[in-house]
Structure 1
Amino acid sequence: MSVGVAIIGSGLFAKEQHLPAVQAAPGFTLKAIYSRSLNSAQSLAEGTANVDLYSEDSGAGKSFDDLLARSDIGAVIIALPILVQPDFIKRALLSGKHVLSEKPIAKDVATAKELLQWYQANIDASKVFWAVGENFRYMSKYIYAAEQVQKLGQVRNFRVDVQNFVKPDNKYFLTPWRKVPEYQGGFLLDGGVHMIAGLRLILGSAQQIKTVSAQSYLQQSYLPPVDTVDAVVKTRSGATGVISLSWGSPFNRHSFEFACEKGSVALNFDDVAVNDVKYSVPFDGRGVSAEVAEFATSIINGKAVEKRQSPEEALADLEVLEQMLQSGEKQGEPVQLHLQV
């Protein structure tokens, strides 16, 4: 069995990840592409066959609603700018299409909660599925690190240190909606939510983050409103941790370190050290292919989406990051988390 699917959005991630993931998924057949302009839809469709194009400037019969009216399309993958996604998600779900939308779930927790409550009140979730993509939960190195941490007992202390430098000519920075962000955190929201997802995956549900206190700063004037945040956090079990994230830093770091009851685990880029013994985890992609394939399998089997792509998981990621940003705005005022799962 194969489900007809449409890709909504034609940005960099759709080109580099979603399109090849759909083409590789045995449970999906690409039927259509929608973008705001026909030119961008054509750019994404280049090299594909038997794919219909829809856009706001394609004339009658080629709008998003026309795409949703097609009976041969059972699902959509939505990868649009953060601010416009909720409207497209609602319209797709109301039409009976299964939805996989890109992270973050929404621009802020309030919008995300409203969207989730709307879904629960207006859509039969047993028949029409909504998943939120977070490819870090499917990447081998994070999964391997999580497995090793779980073997070593309760986490006592941890540190996340991710430092990046987004230059003015960065391909993602040149995306207009990212260049002048109308949402909290700028790159810290768009990129930082990945890091929170990776951390939460490794900690596991038994080590939910409970409190956050943070400071934030803008290192690069072209990356407003802030590009750096440093937080001290504590889990419900009492473990303490430090989360340091920056997209305006001159350093290049990507490390997740965990001190556990029976030893330590350190993830540095693609290497995982368990009790100081290094294991290189072969890079097998950014997780999007596995994520899309799992979404297709849920639809075919008629079963709810897996927890790791549920809206509740995405909301929990967003809550951690938002509270870090809000604590930073309040000069480190401690905040409590309430939406962790």
Structure 2
Amino acid sequence: MTIGVAIIGSGNFVREEHLPGVQASEAFDLKAIYSRSLQSAETLGNGVSGVDLYSADAGPGKGYDDLLGRSDITAVIIALPILAQPAFISKALAAGKHVLSEKPIAKDLVTAQDLINLQNSRIVNRKTIWAVAENFRYMSKFVRAAEEVRRLGGITNFRVVMRSMIKPGSKYHKTEWRRNPGYQGGFVLDGGVHVIAALRLILGQGDGLAAVAAHSSLQQEHLAPVDTVDALVKTRSGATGVVSVSYGSEINDSVFEFTCVDGVVTLDFDRLTVNGKSQDVPFEGRGVNKELAEFAESISTGAGLATRLRPEEALADLEVMECIFNSSEKDGEKRNLHLQI
């Protein structure tokens, strides 16, 4: 039996990934689309048959609460601005709907913990699933890199560099909530949490991150408050590394490099090199289809939420980012991590 689902949001990622992913899935039956305005809901739903449209300005019977009141909608996929998401997640969980919400889990740890507490409370049915989407945990190149690192034994040192330029007027900079963020870190939180998720995936739970000390800067005024962070990090075993993330860089770079007991693993964009032998990892999409498949399976089998979708994983990602920002505000003061799993 298919799962009746509604998509909440109509932004770039919904249009490029969530909508086509749901349409291609045999597990889901798209019932409705909700957006802040009816116009944006209509734009997303253009050409999609059999889907009802809801929005904040659509009039009586067509609001978010009305959508949540439908018995044929079992699950919702929420991809809204960072500050808007928590209220929509809370309402959906309280209404007994399974939720897949986009990363980051929330704007800060306090808000994220409140959501997790709600999920664990008596208000929410124990069978109701809340999953947090992080597509980097599903992308083939990061999964392959993680496999090779495991094969070569413990990590002793690592380097992660992710640099690019978010230009004025680009599709992501056009969104008002990104141009004027009301949350810590601006673009670095929104994009950097992907980088941390990939790093944590490759490090594995056997040797999680333990401490961070960082500095931040602003290279491009249109990306305020910060667009660049450089951090020294340490794992529980004592392995050390550097993490450098910038969205205001003239250099375009993507490198994940790990020195292990039995060799070196380097992922340079899509090229994976293990002990000097290189091969390109074929691009198999941005991982959203795999997220959706695990979300659907978690609902239909009742076997529990897939590990990569657990809110606690997203909480651990956010803790690293928040500690980077807090450390940079204190001139690189060390921050210990307590929520890593």
Q: Give SS of 1:191's match.
A: helix
Tell me whether 1:321 sits opposite 2:292 in the alignment.
Answer: no
The answer to whether the 8 A contact 2:96-2:125 is kept is: no
- 1:166-185 alpha-carbon deviations (Å, 9 max, x no partner): 11021101100001111000
- 8 Å contact from structure 1 (residues 4, 73) kept in 2: yes
Per the alignment, residue 184 of structure 2 pairs with 184
Question: Secondary structure of 1:222's partner?
Answer: helix
In structure 1, how many angstroms separate the alpha carbons of the residues matched to 2:219 and 2:21?
36
In structure 2, give the amino acid aligned to 1:161: V
**Cα displacement (A) at 1:23:** 0.9
Query: How much does 1:123 deviate?
Result: 4.5
- CA-to-partner distance for each residue in 1:185-217, whole Å, 9 max, x for gaps? 000000000000000000100111101000110
Superposed displacement of residue 134, structure 1: 0.2
Q: How far is 1:126 from its partner?
A: 3.7
Is 1:136 the counterpart of 2:139? The answer is no
Is 1:299 equivalent to 2:306 in the alignment?
no
Q: What is the distance in 2 between the residues matched to 1:101 and 1:304?
A: 17
Alignment of 1:55-74 (within 5 A): 55-74=55-74
Q: Which amino acid aligns with 2:158?
A: F
**Structure 1, residues 227-266: CA drift from partner, whole Å, max 9, x if none?**
0000001100010000000000110000100000000100
Give the 3 Å change call, closer, same or farther, for CA 74–32 of structure 1 in structure 2.
same
Classify the secondary structure of the residue corresponding to 2:223. Answer: coil
User: What's the secondary structure of 1:5's corresponding residue?
Assistant: strand
Q: Secondary structure at the match of 1:122?
A: coil
Who is 1:285 aligned against? 285
User: Which residue identity lines up with residue 201 of structure 2 in the other structure?
Assistant: L
Partners of 1:162 and 1:254 within 8 A in 2? yes
The share of aligned pairs that are identical, in percent, is 60
Question: Could you list the runs of 4 or more consecutive aligned residues of structure 1 that deviate by over 3 angstroms after TM superposition?
Answer: 122-126
Report if the CA contact (8 A) 1:26-1:293 is conserved: no
After superposition, residues 148-187 of structure 1 pair within 5 angstroms as 148-187=148-187
TM-score by length of 2: 0.99
| d(CA) in 2 for partners of 1:126, 1:36 | 30
Q: Which residue of 2 aligns with 1:276?
A: 276
Secondary structure in 2 matching 1:299: helix
| In structure 2, distance between residues paired with 1:38 and 1:124 | 30
Which ranges in structure 1 are unaligned for 5 or more consecutive residues?
none
Question: For 1:127-186, what per-residue CA distance to the aligned partner results, in whole angstroms no more than 9, with x for missing partners?
Answer: 100000000011000000000000000000000001111110211011000011110000
Give the partner amino acid of 1:31. K
Match of 2:122 in 1: 122
CA distance in 2, matches of 1:46, 1:278: 44
Alignment of 1:90-109 (within 5 A): 90-109=90-109
Match in the other structure for 1:110:
110
Q: Residue type of the partner of 2:296?
A: A
Paired with 1:17 and 1:305, the residues of 2 have a C-alpha distance of 21
Q: Which residue of the partner structure matches residue 229 of structure 2?
A: 229
In structure 1, how many angstroms separate the alpha carbons of the residues matched to 2:81 and 2:34? 14
